Chain A
Amino acid sequence: MKIVLAQLKKDMRCQRGALILWVICLVLGALPYIGTTILNHSMEKSLDVLNLSEGQKLAGAVSMVAIFITCVMAALFGMFLLMPILVTQVVHEDPLMGTTAFWRTRPIPRSKLLLAKALFIGVLLLPLMAAMARDGKIGDDQFWPAMAAWIAAVAALASITPSTGAWFGYGLAFFFGKQIYSGIINQIWSHYHGPSPFFTDETLRPLATLGSFLHFNASDFYHLCYLVGFAVVFIHQYLTLRTKRSVALFIAVLAAVGVLQMLAGPSPDNSNSVIRINSSSSQTP
């Protein structure tokens, strides 16, 4: 544990600047929630005591909305931009590729390095988990599980690339590769089977039952698949340092979940090809 903590401390020291910025964004993002919770109880009374005119109340409300939007924007910036940067940086700080990494010549077991990095990423994901816990479920709006899957993808990709430039290049290649692959497979499937999906609500009934128990919907299921798949890539790369095999695993995860999504067929509103399990059916035991 001493090594894990030393590694974690070192990573936090190395990412100090970005971490401070991230914490500021987090606090700003949390302010509206904290503010509304506190103000809900005392706002009416306070406004009565101040004896404000209707115009002043309106101006106050507009200011509050402006502050709220600023805070949310800061939080989004923190979540969407800083978190992937932090995750990539912390993984690349001790590269798993090449022969020049400092840690590879030191008595650091790979499992402990993995644990330290996972802890660091876990700390970053803590607010997400807190938000999930607050809602009592993985999420209705698909934002939090999608975010967790996105961070897992970022971490897995960072573990199989030597630098930020390579991370970006590989990321783009995988993204466009997946789009092209999805298009081709979709066309082939439609050609032979028509627009009917391979999966139906009936096929997924056991999953839906499980989903109702765990409170997740079909989209969460895909994100969970991505999350688990990318976590496997990340762990595999740390424990074995076999980059070629990890890259193959990464591609396999993308392909497998992509196929799963495609086989579910297009959604009625044509927005996303996700397994359609409406909330009423998923709640039915």
Chain B
Amino acid sequence: MESSDNSLTMNPVIEIEKMSCRFGNVEAVRNLTLEVPSGSVYAFLGTNGAGKTTTIKTLLNLLQPTAGTARVFGVDSTRLGPPELARIGYVSENQQLPEKLTVQQMIDYCRALYANWDDALCRRLVERFALPMNRPIRGFSRGMKTKAALLVSLAYRPELLLMDEPFAGLDPLVRDDLVQGMLELSEQENWTVFISSHDIDEVERLADHVGMIDNGVLTLSESSDSLRTRFRRVDAIFDEGPPPTPDLFKDALSSEISGLSVRWIENHYTDDEALGARIQSHLPNCKAWSSSPLALRDAFVALTRAQRATPPAL
């Protein structure tokens, strides 16, 4: 796993320690350790089948870990009950909503479940998401169902919002609607959001912490700022002569030499000065070089590929 910064250990709302989840011969999550600090928006990224949904379901006590522990609000996930669930909002593409009900009826139902249900916020969200109140949910499109689920997961101001692939199968307009709505709320609410997705572009706008999981193994967990600083795409052009030595790519996630140019993704970038010195020492015939920040999507792809090329020791 890549390095994690210190802020992650402060007031964690979610603490997962050496957690494994096995289904028969398949180990969906392997030795997972991560912490989600209070007040953060944590993006949990991974490919399909990486172990994201299993992790979230374990946090909600829908599944039990086969090894290790998961704690939410300091309570072991296997002991999670109504008092903790009253503080958690959950939106998932797989959740079965009471689809025979209308939005109004679902609101009436959910209002009775939460002591701190906020009618004013609920009305605002209904307006924001433009949901028809008197139509049964089963007739809704996928995007509208997600909005309805989000509505009844936000109106009681949860301290923790767990979202499992909320953007899956949604058109860009609806995605933007959801992201905008969440960004607006994030400014007002002191909540913690744990969002799993493989729609990295959407998540990048929301997240201040990022975790990446692949084949059940956590490959990275750190703040977005640290991530943006640490990863850099570097392009260098060199004259005729010896190609760069392998030591130049010691910390690189990927490297690619094409003719007299070389491109790599720097894994532990600190500043241009240190990088320039290293390039000079390993590629003396370098004519020019440049470094640019890496998008989260590119970092994710590079990390996942690097992880798969060198599987972790068991």
Contacts and interface: CB of A to CB of B under 8 A. Distances in A.
Interface of A: 2-3, 5-7, 9-10, 13-14, 93, 95, 99-102, 104-109
B138 to A, nearest CB: 11
B81 interface: yes
B82 A107 contact: yes
B62 interface: yes
B112 A2 contact: yes
B96 A10 contact: no
Given A3-B113, A6-B112, A104-B62, A14 B100 contact: yes
A14 B100 CA distance: 5
A10 B113 contact: no
Contacts of A108: 82, 113
B98 A14 contact: yes
A5 B62 contact: no
11 contacts: A5-B112, A6-B109, A6-B113, A9-B109, A10-B109, A100-B92, A105-B95, A106-B110, A106-B113, A107-B82, A107-B85
Contacts of B57: 99
Q: Which of A13, A14, A102 has the most CB of B within 10 A?
A: A102
B82 A99 contact: no
Contacts of B101: 10, 13-14
Contacts of B311: none
Given A6-B112, A10-B109, 4 more contacts: A5-B112, A14-B100, A102-B96, A107-B83
Interface string B96-120: 1110110001001111111000000
Main secondary structure of the interface of A (DSSP, over half): helix
B105 A105 contact: no
Nearest to A14: B100
Contacts of A13: 100-101, 105
B44 interface: no
Nearest to A5: B112
Nearest to B90: A105
A10 B98 contact: yes
B148 to A, nearest CB: 11
B94 interface: yes
Nearest to A99: B62
B88 interface: yes
B300 to A, nearest CB: 26
A218 to B, nearest CB: 43
A5 B90 CA distance: 23
Contacts of A9: 108-109
Contacts of A99: 57, 62-63, 94
Contact of B81 (A5, A95, A102, A109): A109
B60 interface: yes
Nearest to A112: B82
B271 to A, nearest CB: 46
B98 A100 contact: no
Contacts of B113: 3, 6, 106-108
A104 B95 CA distance: 10
B86 interface: yes
Contacts of A106: 85, 110, 113
Nearest to B149: A102
A100 B94 contact: yes
Contacts of A109: 81-82
B5 to A, nearest CB: 31
B12 to A, nearest CB: 21
Contact of B97 (A5, A102, A104): A102
B112 to A, nearest CB: 3
Residue of A6, A93, A99 ringed by the most chain B CB atoms within 10 A? A99
A10 B109 CA distance: 6
Contacts of A102: 95-98
Contacts of B92: 100
A26 B82 CA distance: 38
B124 to A, nearest CB: 21
A105 B85 contact: yes
Nearest to B98: A102
Contact of A107 (B97, B105, B111, B114): B114
> In this complex, which of B60, B62, B109 has the most chain A Cβ atoms within 10 angstroms of its Cβ?
B109
B95 A100 contact: yes
